[in-house]
């Protein structure tokens, strides 16, 4: 696509998507006029780092300002206009009406191409007392300043919402000595993940003195003098000095709606693979838009910084290169969170989502050491993978543990992007030395387990509750005594072949160990001796 020296690109919104689009556009052309409009005072800041400044892990607020209007002008020769709000789009005349937030002055700006990057705002439900100033949300640096100031004198703080941001806020507020309670309307924290994968996080939160109220939502708020009272759906009433509301986001798509652009049912702007909206001269990037899911080719809105950056790049490339530009391939939704010593995350589809969508899948959960178990500091990694029964293609993964969680998620995210199968996981050649990994990484082991299931060598049971009455605990006797499995008979693996007579051949046998691997070995011994044997996935580490 050719651009003239007077070519004008107007970008509404900075931060990840808008700032990336502006920078990429300048790389393409020194003559294009690039106008970046930002309603707030900060045009480019590290919004993912905001909780860590509140908790003091990032002590210098200035570190969060990735770029300033001055640095963007100097580095990229951008026309950066902060405290400037876009109020309307005239598609027929290709103009944007803007208003200066402080002075109220208005004007119209012409564009050749318009990029919408307004992001998403925190969801604030319409309920009694919701506008109390002690109820705060976190979106920008000004919100950070308000929360940080309020937390200095607050003692009891409620975090409403146990998603990624809610957990980060709870951890950071605990770091600065606050009494924190988490309220989550779903029966688990991190509702984006499968229930069993977040149990270690919930235990860690409780171990650090953070109560969890799960399966219960907020019904109303009320002023209680020095405190603010929160009434839950169950009727429970809690008082706090400060409330952090973190129950989700909704796209800032009002401008797009008023301009007649196509939106989905949730208000996200629908775009094509080059981030073009239903108007070819207007693009949308970041949290405001909906793109393709690259695994099952459905549609998804993924409010994350990584996708926003790449979408901004795609939009700018298409403005200058046309259809020669690389298409945006869609978002996997890869995400991770740290909760004290534990980390947990996901990439691709979860079991919960696949069930809701009615999509066939198989899954296995394995446990293995983060690096060679004989090298000091090794921790357990729990990895769950999901795949298509028909093709063996990976559909998603989740991981939890104290070390190496990001590494395994990144491997699986790359495998998802490459359309790899469970058999490909078996043969991935990953970096190995005792301080870094194992000769058989947990990713390989997940591939082993999955292909064993495919080949009929592993007949798994998901949970203890799904097992029959004959459970054989094959852990060493001392371990089984310390952490007994309800209803299980302990026959250590090394004694199993000599004690087969103690097992009823007329009933199915369900084996369990600490991590899942030994119970698989036991199930194979039993199967090869004529028993109907199945291994309980994940072991006692995962089930109890």
**Residues with catalytic function:** 48
From the list 400, 94, 132, the residue with the least C-alpha distance to 259 is: 94
Task: Find the length of the chain.
Answer: 544
In angstroms, how far is CA 253 from the centroid of its own chain?
A: 22
Angle at 252 between CA 90 and CA 222, to 5 degrees: 135
End-to-end CA distance of the chain: 60
Which tokens belong to 330?
């869609």
Can you list the pairs that 473-478 forms with residues at least 24 positions away whose Cβ atoms lie under 8 Å?
473/512, 473/513, 473/540, 474/511, 474/512, 474/513, 474/518, 474/519, 474/521, 474/522, 475/512, 475/513, 475/514, 475/518, 475/540
> Are residues 540 and 514 in contact, defined by beta-carbon separation less than 8 angstroms?
yes
Question: What angle (nearest 5°) sits at the alpha carbon of residue 107, between those of residues 102 and 110?
Answer: 135
Dist CA 134 CA 425 (whole Å)? 49
Looking up tokens 């129950």 gives: 247
What's the rounded Cα separation, in Å, for the pair 192 and 247? 12
Beta bridge partners of 158: 181, 243
Handedness of CA 181, 184, 188, 190 (dihedral sign): negative
CA distances to 177, 195, 200, 312, 344 from 189, rounded to whole Å, are 22, 8, 11, 32, 11
Angle between helices 405-417 and 442-454 (to 10 degrees): 50
CB-based contacts of 252: which residues, under 8 Å, 6+ apart? 13, 118, 119, 120, 121, 287, 288
Q: Where are the alpha helices (DSSP H) in 230-274?
A: 254-258
Across the beta sheet with 179-184, what order do the strands follow?
Answer: 135-136, 242-245, 156-160, 179-184, 212-214
Side-by-side strand order, sheet with 282-284: 79-81, 33-37, 8-12, 113-116, 282-284
Residues 6 or more apart whose CB falls under 8 angstroms from that of 287 comprise 17, 119, 120, 249, 251, 252, 301, 303, 304, 308
SS3 of 492, please?
coil
**Contact call for residues 491 and 523 (beta carbons, < 8 A):** no
């Amino acid at each position: 696509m050719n651009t003239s020296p007077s070519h004008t690109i107007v970008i509404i919104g900075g931060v990840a998507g808008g700032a990336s689009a502006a920078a990429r556009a300048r790389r393409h052309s020194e003559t294009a006029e690039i106008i970046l409009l930002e309603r707030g005072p900060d045009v480019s800041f590290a919004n993912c780092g905001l909780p860590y400044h509140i908790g003091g892990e990032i002590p210098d607020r200035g570190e969060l300002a990735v770029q300033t209007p001055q640095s963007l002008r100097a580095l990229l020769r951008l026309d950066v206009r902060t405290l400037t709000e876009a109020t309307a789009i005239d598609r027929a005349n290709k103009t944007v009406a803007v208003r200066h937030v402080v002075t109220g002055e208005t004007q119209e700006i012409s564009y050749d191409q318009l990029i919408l990057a307004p992001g998403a705002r925190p969801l604030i439900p319409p309920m009694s007392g919701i506008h109390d100033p002690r109820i705060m949300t976190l979106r920008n640096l000004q919100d950070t300043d308000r929360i940080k100031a309020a937390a200095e004198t607050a003692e009891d703080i409620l975090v409403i919402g146990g998603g990624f941001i809610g957990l980060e806020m709870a951890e950071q507020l605990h770091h600065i000595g606050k009494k924190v309670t988490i309220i989550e309307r779903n029966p688990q924290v991190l509702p984006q993940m499968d229930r069993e994968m977040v149990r270690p996080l919930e235990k860690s939160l409780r171990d650090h003195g953070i109560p969890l109220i799960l399966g219960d939502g907020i019904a109303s708020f009320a002023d209680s003098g020095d405190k603010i009272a929160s009434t839950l759906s169950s009727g429970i009433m809690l008082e706090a000095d400060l409330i952090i509301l973190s129950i989700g986001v909704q796209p800032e798509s009002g401008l797009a709606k008023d301009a007649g652009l196509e939106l989905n049912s949730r208000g996200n702007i629908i775009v094509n693979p080059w981030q073009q909206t239903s108007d070819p001269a207007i693009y949308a990037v970041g949290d405001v838009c909906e793109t393709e899911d690259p695994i099952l080719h459905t549609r998804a809105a993924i409010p994350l910084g990584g996708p926003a950056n790449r979408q901004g790049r795609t939009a700018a490339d298409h403005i200058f290169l046309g259809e020669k530009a690389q298409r945006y391939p869609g978002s996997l939704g890869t995400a991770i969170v740290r909760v004290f010593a534990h980390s947990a995350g996901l990439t691709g589809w979860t079991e919960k989502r696949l069930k809701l969508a009615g999509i066939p899948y198989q899954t296995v959960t394995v446990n293995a050491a983060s690096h060679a178990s004989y090298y000091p500091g090794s921790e357990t990694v729990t990895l769950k993978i999901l795949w298509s029964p028909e093709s063996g293609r990976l559909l998603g993964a989740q991981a939890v543990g104290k070390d190496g969680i990001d590494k395994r998620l990144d491997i699986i995210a790359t495998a998802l992007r490459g359309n790899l199968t469970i058999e490909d996981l078996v043969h991935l050649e990953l970096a190995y030395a005792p301080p870094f990994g194992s000769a058989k990484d947990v990713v390989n082991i997940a591939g082993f387990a999955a292909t064993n299931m495919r080949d009929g060598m592993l007949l798994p049971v998901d949970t203890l509750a799904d097992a029959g009455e004959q459970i054989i605990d094959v852990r060493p006797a001392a371990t089984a005594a310390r952490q007994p499995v309800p209803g299980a008979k302990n026959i250590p693996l090394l004694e199993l072949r000599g004690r087969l007579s103690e097992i009823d051949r007329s009933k199915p046998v369900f084996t369990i160990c600490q991590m899942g691997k030994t119970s698989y070995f036991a199930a194979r011994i039993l199967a090869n001796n004529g028993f109907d044997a199945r291994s309980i996935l994940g072991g006692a580490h995962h089930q109890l």
